Amino acid sequence: MDLKEKLKDPEFRRLYELECAKVALAQKIAELREEKHLRQVDLAKKLGVSQQFISQIETGEEKNLTIETIIKIAKSLGRGVTISFPKLTNRHPSCLEVT
């Protein structure tokens, strides 16, 4: 069964959408951190958290990432946060776009 078929199952689709969003956010945070030439431990110190916590965020393992934490991370990387609710399209509507 291919992904298109699996996405017809509502529970599979829900879990897929969640993982897709976590991966996109994790990749963006890691990308921005690296652009600033910061190690995970450097970002952790700026935020007052452990390096392990940053690692869990960047690997998508952190399950309770709050908007407040996302905003703190963004600010520490010289960025802001914008949240939008675009219309879903037929092109992988299940994936979050992080820019």
- Is 92 inside a domain boundary? no
Provide the residue type at 60 as one letter: G
Q: What is the per-residue pLDDT across 79-90, written as a single tens digit (0 to 9) for each? A: 999 988 877 765
Domain that holds residue 71: 8-76
- Is 81 inside a domain boundary? no
CB 22 within 8 A of CB 98: no
- Is 70 inside a domain boundary? yes
Nearest to 62 by CA among 32, 18, 92, 94: 18
Q: How many domains does the chain have?
A: 1
CB 98 within 8 A of CB 32: no
Q: What is the pLDDT along the chain (99 residues), one digit of tens a residue?
A: 888 888 889 999 889 888 888 888 999 999 999 999 999 999 999 999 999 999 999 998 988 899 999 999 999 999 999 988 877 765 555 565 666
- Write down the pTM of the prediction: 0.82
